Copies of this chain bind each other. A is one copy, B any other.
Amino acid sequence: MFTGLSAFPLTPVTASGVDEKGFTRILARLTAANVDAIGALGSTGSYAYLTRQQRARVAALAVEHADNIPVMVCVGAVSTAEVLHLVDDAQRAGASALLLPPVSYQKLNDDEVFGLFETVSQHASVPVCVYDNPATTHVEFSVELYQRIAALPGVRSIKIPGVPADTDKAHAHIRQLRAALPQRVSLGVSGDAFAGTGLNAGCDLWYSVCGGLFPHTAKAITTAAAQGDGARVTQLSSRLDPLWALYRKHGGSIRVMAAAAGILGLTDHDALPRPLQPLSAAHRREVAEIIEALELS
């Protein structure tokens, strides 16, 4: 499950709570496209805004509607005690892997980050993926910290927050990580705008927000990467630049993907948990235009 396209669906949250029907409609798009894995309750899946009970329910729904595609469930929380409960819940729901971001409130030092991964890897019985996302966790991983954590049994992948935009620097970065890490640890690129460069630089998979709603569009890119067709990877990902520009304009991908899910009729136009607010009608129209212009699917 740690190669190709790992698709991260939105969890639509409306005024009445999690829109379960909307969520299963989104999952149906992913199973129809036969993505390689589903990343439930990622950042786009709003895990940080949901209660333990809601997260257990969404994890169970994801596995139930995944059509045997492996499901990775994010178990991030500020408190390690809470993370362990979430691990139990996710495993009970049938998760094939766990995604663990070192969510922080007080700034964590490296020993504290390592301690979290050590505790969880000892507790978990399914593989763990390190979720490196400094924009939301405010933890910066060094290569040395990756190494310490990757040596823990059970750690099987690192979801890296992009690669340098320069092709040579991206290659050098991935080479450096490969040299530092055990072979069993796959490297997945995230930050959709970096996907093409990351895959061409040798990442094993794309942890994809775009793929969580537009799996055909995303899978064309990971398929080209699997075929070693770097030029096509670059061409297909570059033509999505207007989508990445929307992400930047709206402070990240989640508000854009929530708007897109509403535009596709999968959930309400307001499907974000407060305090997050939906895009304005004018901005939603821009999203609709780009979905159409880029033929996202």
Contacts and interface: CB of A to CB of B under 8 A. Distances in A.
A235 interface: no
Interface in A49-106: 49-51, 78-82, 102-103, 105-106
A112 B136 CA distance: 16
A138 B48 CA distance: 15
A276 B81 CA distance: 12
A119 B48 contact: no
A239 interface: no
Interface in A234-281: 251-252, 254, 273-277
A113 to B, nearest CB: 7
A116 interface: yes
A116 B135 CA distance: 21
A190 interface: no
Contacts of A142: none
A215 B258 CA distance: 49
A251 B109 contact: yes
Contacts of A138: 138
Contact of A252 (B48, B80, B107, B254): B107
Interface string A163-196: 0000000000000000000000000000000000
Contact of A43 (B106, B252, B274, B275): B106
B277 A106 contact: no
Contacts of A290: none
Contacts of A33: none
A228 interface: no
A78 B274 contact: no
B115 A277 contact: yes
A78 B49 contact: yes
A108 interface: yes
A283 to B, nearest CB: 12
Interface string A196-235: 0000000000000000000000000000000000000000
Contact of A273 (B43, B81, B111, B252): B81
Contact of A251 (B48, B79, B107, B277): B107
Nearest to A17: B81
Contact of A277 (B102, B111, B135): B111
A115 B276 CA distance: 9
A273 B104 CA distance: 12
A81 B15 CA distance: 10
Given A48-B105, A106-B252, A138-B138, 10 more contacts: A49-B79, A51-B82, A80-B275, A102-B275, A105-B136, A106-B136, A111-B277, A112-B275, A112-B277, A115-B275
Interface of A: 43, 48-51, 78-82, 102-103, 105-109, 111-113, 115-116, 119, 135-136, 138, 251-252, 254, 273-277
Which 3 pairs show the lowest CB-CB distances between chains A and B?
Answer: A48-B105, A80-B274, A116-B275
